[in-house]
Each structure stands twice: as structure tokens, then as C-alpha cells.
């Protein structure tokens, strides 16, 4: 098995002008330590998954300039959640951005798509129905924030202008929730949480697929406040849109760029029991998920 020193050397000995995709990432994916970690999570599917990651990076000039270890860590998060990193599928993404905490060096950030949230919710077996859609001009007749009563008429569409997004779920026990966000509320959320120098500028998946990210925002808020969260869904809440690092000395994972997100922080505030009643939060759940993530990456430096 690779030693601490050999793992560090693979990262440090790459020529300064070498594209990290051409040397660092390939070397890391071939190292015994990294291969073993992916095999632990994905079993016989690990080789195909890592090959897809390398292909993804090869076909994205921006992502290929990101720090190799940030790509590895983001890919490991996707593997842990058993979600493919395929832009066309929309379950999860690796998004490059300049990290101001690292002197604006480029790193890869794991971003969960709204289809990823739906997939994880379906696996829990707790949801009878779950959906989020765009609302076009003319479709919304009324929305009551207090009672969550919505009058929606899909036949009333008068244009292709999106005015908002509506999310809905129903648990197998009959408990159901609906939420509606206006386009202005989505924009305010996006700008507030934009880590770029120009907060109003569209970037990453927001630029390439605005509706997908808007629907993810609505769905994440809805599920984190009112849904039943499996361990996988809790992990997704914590890791979504965060940059993580691996300590090559201890093999532990840490969050280098915590998400400053009001909805994200609500992930353990409210839960619903089997009868659809609100129960008190259990703060230890988040701690357990972070512990599970740490345990997952232990041994990377061994």
C-alpha cells in the first residue's frame, strides 16, 4: 500500500507546467490508496466509475485545471452517495471555481443536482410522491404561504416566462408539504450564496442550467425542513456545494469551504415522525454523518 510520503510525492513531484489532469489526477487514481478507497465504496464498479471521472475531466478544460485532490474528494463524495458524475444525467456535478481561501487557486466543488435529491429520497422508501417543477406565467392562480394552499392551473400558461418554482412531497404515511419560490426569491438566494467575486454573475451550473439549480434549491429547502432524511440524504445536505480536503498525514476529510446557506443550516432543525408530527431535532445526526465521512477517508495517508 502507498505510504504517506509516496502519496505526497505523487502530488508534489509533478512538473510545474504539467496539467494536473495529465499527471497528478492520473497518478492519484492509479495509486493503491485511492484505488482501495473507491473499491471499498463501489466494489466491482470502481474501475468504471474512476474511468468516467477521468473522462469527465478530460472533456472539461476548466475542470482539468483544478487541484487533483479536490477532484478525487468530490468524486469520492459522489461514489459514497452512489450517484454518477455525468452532466447529461444531472444527478451530481464537479464544478471548478477559484477558492479565495487558497489564493484563488482553482478547485473542484461537489454539487448535487435536484435529480440526485430525488434519487436519494426514493431510496429511503419514505416518499410516495416527490416533484419540483417550473411555474410559467399564467399557471399560478394563488399561493398562501401560511396554509400552503396553492391554486395551480397548467392549462393557464400564457408564455414561456418562468415566474417561480413549486416543490411537493407526500410521505407514505400521508404527511405532505408544498412550497413555492418566486423567481426573485431564487435570485436573492443565488446571489446571497454566490462565492464568486461578482455575486450577481451566473457561474457553474447556474450558468449552464439555471432551472435545474433553482429546482434543487427549492427541493433541498423543502426536504431539509420537512422531509425524512436518510443517512445518505444527511450526507448529501452536508457535502453539497462544499469543498473538502484530505489530510495526507491522517487520511481524514475536512470541510475547507463550509456552505453559508440558510436552507443548508436547517437540515436538522425540523423532523417528522411516522405519524407526520413534528419532533425535536437530534443534533447528533449531523455529527454522526461528519464522523462517517471522516471514517470513510481514514487510511488515505497509510
Give, as one character, the DSSP assignment of residue 81: T
Distance separating alpha carbons of residues 85 and 112, to the nearest angstrom:
10
Mean pLDDT, 10 residues at a time, over the chain (302 residues)?
44 44 76 89 93 92 89 92 91 84 79 92 93 97 94 95 97 96 96 82 87 94 90 81 54 45 32 38 40 43 40
Distance separating alpha carbons of residues 95 and 251, to the nearest angstrom:
23
Whole-Å CA distances, 277 to 35, 175, 225: 44, 9, 13
Closest by Cα among 274, 279, 262 to 224: 262
Pairing of strands 105-112, 92-99: antiparallel
pLDDT value at residue 152: 94
Distance separating alpha carbons of residues 240 and 258, to the nearest angstrom:
10
Closest by Cα among 210, 213, 220 to 117: 220
Distance separating alpha carbons of residues 55 and 292, to the nearest angstrom:
29
Closest by Cα among 250, 257, 267, 238 to 77: 238
Q: Please report, for the chain, how many H helices and E strands are present, in that order.
A: 12, 11
End-to-end Cα spacing for the chain: 7
Closest by Cα among 118, 130, 131, 47 to 89: 118
Whole-Å CA distances, 209 to 27, 79, 93, 204, 281: 32, 23, 12, 9, 34
Q: Is 302 helix (H, G, I), strand (E, B) or coil?
A: coil
Give, as one character, the DSSP assignment of residue 274: T
pLDDT value at residue 246: 53
Distance separating alpha carbons of residues 186 and 184, to the nearest angstrom:
5
pLDDT value at residue 14: 44
Q: Where are the domains of the chain?
A: 4-297
Give, as one character, the DSSP assignment of residue 242: B
Amino acid at each position: 500500500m502507498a505510504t504517506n510520503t509516496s502519496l505526497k510525492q505523487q502530488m508534489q513531484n509533478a512538473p510545474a507546467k504539467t496539467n494536473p489532469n495529465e499527471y497528478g489526477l492520473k497518478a492519484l487514481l492509479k495509486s493503491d490508496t485511492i484505488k482501495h478507497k473507491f473499491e471499498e465504496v463501489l466494489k466491482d464498479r470502481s474501475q468504471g466509475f474512476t474511468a468516467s471521472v477521468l473522462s469527465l475531466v478530460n472533456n472539461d478544460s476548466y475542470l482539468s485545471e483544478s487541484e487533483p485532490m479536490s477532484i478525487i474528494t468530490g468524486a469520492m463524495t459522489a461514489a459514497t452517495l452512489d450517484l454518477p458524475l455525468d452532466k447529461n444525467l444531472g444527478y451530481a456535478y464537479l464544478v471548478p471555481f477559484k477558492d479565495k481561501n487558497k489564493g484563488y487557486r482553482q478547485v473542484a466543488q461537489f454539487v448535487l443536482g435536484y435529480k440526485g435529491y430525488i434519487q436519494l429520497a426514493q431510496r429511503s422508501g419514505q416518499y410516495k410522491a416527490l416533484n419540483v417543477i417550473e411555474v410559467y406565467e399564467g399557471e399560478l392562480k394563488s399561493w398562501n404561504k401560511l396554509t400552503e394552499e396553492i391554486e395551480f392551473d397548467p392549462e393557464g400558461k400564457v408564455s414561456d416566462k418562468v415566474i417561480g418554482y413549486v416543490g411537493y412531497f407526500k410521505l407514505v404515511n400521508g404527511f405532505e408539504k408544498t412550497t413555492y419560490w418566486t423567481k426573485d426569491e431564487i435570485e436573492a438566494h443565488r446571489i446571497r450564496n454566490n462565492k464568486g467575486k461578482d455575486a450577481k454573475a451566473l457561474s457553474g451550473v447556474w450558468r449552464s442550467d439555471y432551472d435545474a439549480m433553482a429546482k434543487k434549491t427549492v427541493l433541498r429547502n423543502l426536504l431539509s425542513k420537512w422531509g425524512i432524511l436518510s443517512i445518505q440524504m444527511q450526507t448529501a445536505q452536508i457535502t453539497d456545494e462544499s469543498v473538502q480536503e484530505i489530510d495526507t498525514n491522517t487520511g481524514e476529510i475536512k470541510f475547507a469551504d463550509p456552505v453559508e446557506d440558510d436552507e443548508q443550516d436547517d437540515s436538522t432543525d425540523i423532523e417528522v415522525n411516522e405519524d407526520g408530527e413534528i419532533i425535536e431535532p437530534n443534533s447528533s445526526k449531523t455529527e454522526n454523518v461528519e464522523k462517517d465521512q471522516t471514517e470513510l477517508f481514514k487510511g488515505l495517508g497509510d
